[in-house]
Chains A and B, each alone.
Chain A
Protein backbone atom coordinates (compact mmCIF):
# COMPACT_ATOMS: atom_id res chain seq x y z
CA UNK A 1 0.00 0.00 0.00
CA UNK A 2 1.17 3.49 -0.72
CA UNK A 3 1.86 5.91 2.09
CA UNK A 4 3.45 9.29 2.73
CA UNK A 5 5.44 10.37 5.75
CA UNK A 6 6.18 13.98 6.51
CA UNK A 7 8.85 13.90 9.12
CA UNK A 8 8.32 17.34 10.64
CA UNK A 9 4.98 18.51 11.93
CA UNK A 10 6.22 22.07 12.47
CA UNK A 11 9.13 24.00 11.00
CA UNK A 12 9.87 27.48 12.35
CA UNK A 13 12.28 29.56 10.28
CA UNK A 14 13.35 33.17 10.01
CA UNK A 15 12.52 35.26 6.99
CA UNK A 16 15.04 34.99 4.12
CA UNK A 17 16.46 31.75 5.51
CA UNK A 18 16.41 28.56 3.41
CA UNK A 19 13.95 25.81 4.27
CA UNK A 20 13.53 22.13 3.52
CA UNK A 21 10.31 20.25 4.25
CA UNK A 22 10.85 16.53 4.23
CA UNK A 23 8.65 13.92 2.63
CA UNK A 24 9.17 10.19 2.23
CA UNK A 25 6.87 7.87 0.39
CA UNK A 26 6.34 4.18 -0.05
CA UNK A 27 5.01 2.82 -3.27
CA UNK A 28 5.44 -0.37 -5.23
CA UNK A 29 4.20 1.12 -8.48
CA UNK A 30 4.97 4.14 -10.64
CA UNK A 31 5.12 7.20 -8.48
CA UNK A 32 3.39 10.48 -9.01
CA UNK A 33 4.17 12.97 -6.26
CA UNK A 34 2.72 16.32 -5.34
CA UNK A 35 3.16 19.13 -2.89
CA UNK A 36 0.11 21.17 -1.95
CA UNK A 37 -0.01 24.31 0.18
CA UNK A 38 -2.86 25.34 2.44
CA UNK A 39 -2.90 28.94 3.60
CA UNK A 40 -4.93 29.72 6.73
CA UNK A 41 -8.63 29.23 6.15
CA UNK A 42 -8.16 28.34 2.50
CA UNK A 43 -8.23 25.24 0.33
CA UNK A 44 -5.40 23.22 -1.16
CA UNK A 45 -3.27 24.77 -3.88
CA UNK A 46 -0.89 22.76 -6.01
CA UNK A 47 2.72 23.87 -5.54
CA UNK A 48 4.44 21.38 -7.80
CA UNK A 49 4.32 17.84 -9.08
CA UNK A 50 6.62 15.06 -10.16
CA UNK A 51 5.23 12.81 -12.88
CA UNK A 52 8.32 11.69 -14.78
CA UNK A 53 11.51 13.06 -16.31
CA UNK A 54 13.80 15.46 -14.50
CA UNK A 55 14.07 14.70 -10.83
CA UNK A 56 14.28 18.38 -9.93
CA UNK A 57 10.88 19.95 -10.16
CA UNK A 58 10.20 23.65 -9.94
CA UNK A 59 6.91 25.00 -8.72
CA UNK A 60 5.20 28.24 -7.90
CA UNK A 61 6.38 30.84 -5.40
CA UNK A 62 10.04 29.84 -5.78
CA UNK A 63 9.64 26.33 -4.39
CA UNK A 64 11.33 23.28 -5.82
CA UNK A 65 11.47 19.62 -4.94
CA UNK A 66 13.78 16.76 -5.78
CA UNK A 67 12.55 13.25 -6.45
CA UNK A 68 15.01 10.70 -5.10
CA UNK A 69 13.99 7.18 -5.99
CA UNK A 70 16.73 5.42 -4.05
CA UNK A 71 15.83 7.27 -0.86
CA UNK A 72 12.09 7.31 -1.65
CA UNK A 73 12.02 11.01 -0.88
CA UNK A 74 10.49 14.12 -2.36
CA UNK A 75 11.73 16.97 -0.18
CA UNK A 76 10.49 20.51 -0.76
CA UNK A 77 12.95 23.39 -0.69
CA UNK A 78 13.06 27.13 -0.96
CA UNK A 79 16.33 29.08 -0.79
CA UNK A 80 14.82 32.17 0.88
CA UNK A 81 11.41 32.21 2.54
CA UNK A 82 9.03 35.11 3.03
CA UNK A 83 6.51 35.80 5.75
CA UNK A 84 3.82 35.02 3.19
CA UNK A 85 5.06 31.43 2.92
CA UNK A 86 3.60 30.73 6.36
CA UNK A 87 1.16 27.92 5.67
CA UNK A 88 0.71 24.18 5.97
CA UNK A 89 2.37 22.05 3.32
CA UNK A 90 1.14 18.61 2.32
CA UNK A 91 3.02 15.99 0.40
CA UNK A 92 0.87 13.53 -1.53
CA UNK A 93 1.28 10.46 -3.69
CA UNK A 94 -1.26 9.49 -6.29
CA UNK A 95 -2.61 6.04 -5.96
CA UNK A 96 -2.27 3.86 -9.04
CA UNK A 97 -4.92 3.65 -11.69
CA UNK A 98 -6.37 6.19 -14.06
CA UNK A 99 -8.56 7.75 -11.39
CA UNK A 100 -6.29 7.21 -8.44
CA UNK A 101 -7.00 9.31 -5.43
CA UNK A 102 -4.32 11.20 -3.54
CA UNK A 103 -2.79 9.87 -0.35
CA UNK A 104 -1.62 12.73 1.83
CA UNK A 105 0.97 13.07 4.52
CA UNK A 106 0.05 14.64 7.84
CA UNK A 107 1.32 18.04 6.77
CA UNK A 108 4.10 20.36 7.91
CA UNK A 109 3.28 23.77 9.33
CA UNK A 110 5.85 26.26 8.13
CA UNK A 111 6.05 29.32 10.32
CA UNK A 112 8.18 32.16 8.98
CA UNK A 113 9.22 34.73 11.56
CA UNK A 114 10.55 38.22 10.87
Chain B
Protein backbone atom coordinates (compact mmCIF):
# COMPACT_ATOMS: atom_id res chain seq x y z
CA UNK B 1 0.00 0.00 0.00
CA UNK B 2 1.39 3.43 -0.89
CA UNK B 3 2.70 5.46 2.02
CA UNK B 4 3.73 8.99 2.79
CA UNK B 5 7.46 9.07 3.52
CA UNK B 6 9.48 11.67 5.38
CA UNK B 7 13.20 12.34 5.67
CA UNK B 8 15.17 12.59 7.81
CA UNK B 9 13.61 10.69 10.68
CA UNK B 10 15.59 12.79 13.15
CA UNK B 11 17.28 16.13 12.62
CA UNK B 12 19.44 17.90 15.16
CA UNK B 13 20.32 21.51 14.48
CA UNK B 14 21.67 24.53 16.29
CA UNK B 15 19.53 27.52 17.07
CA UNK B 16 19.52 30.01 14.22
CA UNK B 17 20.26 27.43 11.53
CA UNK B 18 17.99 26.71 8.58
CA UNK B 19 16.42 23.27 8.25
CA UNK B 20 14.49 21.64 5.46
CA UNK B 21 12.18 18.76 6.23
CA UNK B 22 11.21 16.57 3.32
CA UNK B 23 8.09 14.65 2.53
CA UNK B 24 7.11 12.47 -0.39
CA UNK B 25 3.31 12.29 -0.49
CA UNK B 26 1.44 9.42 -2.10
CA UNK B 27 1.83 9.84 -5.84
CA UNK B 28 -1.72 10.69 -6.91
CA UNK B 29 -2.45 12.94 -3.97
CA UNK B 30 -3.11 16.62 -4.56
CA UNK B 31 -3.53 18.23 -1.15
CA UNK B 32 -0.68 18.40 1.32
CA UNK B 33 -0.37 19.39 4.94
CA UNK B 34 2.21 19.94 7.62
CA UNK B 35 1.47 19.43 11.29
CA UNK B 36 3.70 19.53 14.32
CA UNK B 37 3.60 17.91 17.72
CA UNK B 38 5.65 19.41 20.51
CA UNK B 39 6.64 16.71 22.99
CA UNK B 40 3.74 15.88 25.27
CA UNK B 41 1.32 18.16 23.46
CA UNK B 42 -1.32 17.74 20.83
CA UNK B 43 -0.81 17.66 17.11
CA UNK B 44 -1.22 21.13 15.62
CA UNK B 45 -1.92 22.21 12.06
CA UNK B 46 0.70 24.36 10.37
CA UNK B 47 -0.19 24.73 6.71
CA UNK B 48 -2.07 23.24 3.78
CA UNK B 49 -0.92 23.36 0.19
CA UNK B 50 -2.68 22.81 -3.10
CA UNK B 51 -1.91 23.60 -6.71
CA UNK B 52 1.52 24.95 -5.83
CA UNK B 53 0.33 27.47 -3.33
CA UNK B 54 -0.58 27.73 0.32
CA UNK B 55 -4.29 27.18 0.88
CA UNK B 56 -4.36 27.92 4.53
CA UNK B 57 -1.96 28.45 7.42
CA UNK B 58 -2.20 28.66 11.16
CA UNK B 59 -0.88 31.39 13.41
CA UNK B 60 2.11 29.17 14.14
CA UNK B 61 3.18 29.35 10.50
CA UNK B 62 4.95 32.70 10.61
CA UNK B 63 7.54 34.22 8.30
CA UNK B 64 10.18 31.79 9.52
CA UNK B 65 8.34 28.95 7.80
CA UNK B 66 7.89 28.23 4.12
CA UNK B 67 6.70 25.29 2.04
CA UNK B 68 7.50 24.22 -1.45
CA UNK B 69 6.83 21.46 -3.92
CA UNK B 70 10.03 21.77 -5.89
CA UNK B 71 9.82 18.87 -8.29
CA UNK B 72 6.33 17.40 -8.40
CA UNK B 73 7.06 14.68 -5.88
CA UNK B 74 8.71 16.22 -2.83
CA UNK B 75 6.93 18.55 -0.44
CA UNK B 76 9.25 20.47 1.84
CA UNK B 77 8.95 22.53 4.99
CA UNK B 78 11.71 25.05 5.58
CA UNK B 79 12.41 26.80 8.84
CA UNK B 80 14.73 29.70 8.15
CA UNK B 81 16.19 30.42 11.56
CA UNK B 82 15.32 27.74 14.07
CA UNK B 83 14.43 28.49 17.66
CA UNK B 84 14.49 26.18 20.65
CA UNK B 85 10.70 26.12 20.63
CA UNK B 86 10.70 24.69 17.11
CA UNK B 87 11.80 21.37 18.59
CA UNK B 88 8.94 19.02 17.79
CA UNK B 89 7.82 16.12 15.65
CA UNK B 90 6.75 17.35 12.23
CA UNK B 91 4.22 15.31 10.29
CA UNK B 92 3.39 15.55 6.62
CA UNK B 93 -0.05 14.44 5.44
CA UNK B 94 -1.87 14.24 2.13
CA UNK B 95 -5.23 13.48 0.57
CA UNK B 96 -5.95 12.55 -3.04
CA UNK B 97 -8.80 14.90 -3.83
CA UNK B 98 -11.04 17.39 -2.06
CA UNK B 99 -13.75 14.75 -1.82
CA UNK B 100 -11.62 12.46 0.33
CA UNK B 101 -11.70 13.36 3.97
CA UNK B 102 -9.14 11.14 5.66
CA UNK B 103 -5.57 12.31 5.72
CA UNK B 104 -2.64 9.95 5.27
CA UNK B 105 0.23 10.76 7.58
CA UNK B 106 3.92 10.15 7.23
CA UNK B 107 6.02 8.76 10.09
CA UNK B 108 7.28 12.19 11.07
CA UNK B 109 10.61 13.96 11.46
CA UNK B 110 11.80 14.67 14.96
CA UNK B 111 13.49 18.07 14.98
CA UNK B 112 15.73 18.89 17.92
CA UNK B 113 17.03 22.44 18.18
CA UNK B 114 19.95 22.90 20.58
Query: Which residues of A are in contact with B by a Cβ distance under 8 Å?
Result: 32, 34, 36, 42-46, 49, 51, 90, 92, 94, 98-99, 101-107
Q: Considering the chains assembled together, what is the distance between the CA atoms of A105 and B103 in angstroms? A: 16
Q: Considering the chains assembled together, what is the distance between the CA atoms of A45 and B91 in angstroms? A: 12
Across the two chains, which residue of chain B brings its CB closest to A91? Answer: B42
**Are the C-beta atoms of A101 and B102 separated by less than 8 Å?**
no
Q: Considering the chains assembled together, what is the distance between the CA atoms of A28 and B23 in angstroms? A: 33
Query: Which residues of B are in contact with A by a Cβ distance under 8 Å?
Result: 6, 31, 33, 35, 41-45, 48, 50, 55-56, 58, 91, 93, 95, 98-99, 101-108
A94/B101 contact (C-beta < 8 A), A42-B107, A43-B106, A101-B33 known: yes
**Are the C-beta atoms of A103 and B45 separated by less than 8 Å?**
yes
The secondary-structure label for the interface of chain B is strand
The contact of A49 among B55, B58, B101, B104, by CB within 8 Å, is B101
Q: Considering the chains assembled together, what is the distance between the CA atoms of A57 and B35 in angstroms? A: 26
Across the two chains, which residue of chain B brings its CB closest to A51? Answer: B101
Hey, which chain A residues are within 8 Å of B58, CB to CB? 101
Q: Considering the chains assembled together, what is the distance between the CA atoms of A99 and B106 in angstroms? A: 18
The secondary-structure label for the interface of chain A is strand
A to B contact number (C-beta, < 8 Å) = 54
**Are the C-beta atoms of B91 and A99 separated by less than 8 Å?**
no
Hey, which chain B residues are within 8 Å of A92, CB to CB? 43
Q: Considering the chains assembled together, what is the distance between the CA atoms of A32 and B106 in angstroms? A: 21
Interchain residue pairs with CB less than 8 A apart (14) = A34-B102, A36-B105, A43-B6, A43-B91, A43-B107, A46-B102, A90-B43, A94-B101, A98-B98, A99-B31, A99-B50, A99-B56, A102-B103, A103-B45
**Are the C-beta atoms of A101 and B101 separated by less than 8 Å?**
no
CB distance from A65 to the nearest CB of B (A): 14
Q: Considering the chains assembled together, what is the distance between the CA atoms of A43 and B6 in angstroms? A: 10
Q: Considering the chains assembled together, what is the distance between the CA atoms of A92 and B33 in angstroms? A: 15
**Are the C-beta atoms of A106 and B41 separated by less than 8 Å?**
yes
Q: Considering the chains assembled together, what is the distance between the CA atoms of A35 and B72 in angstroms? A: 30
CB distance from B35 to the nearest CB of A (A): 8
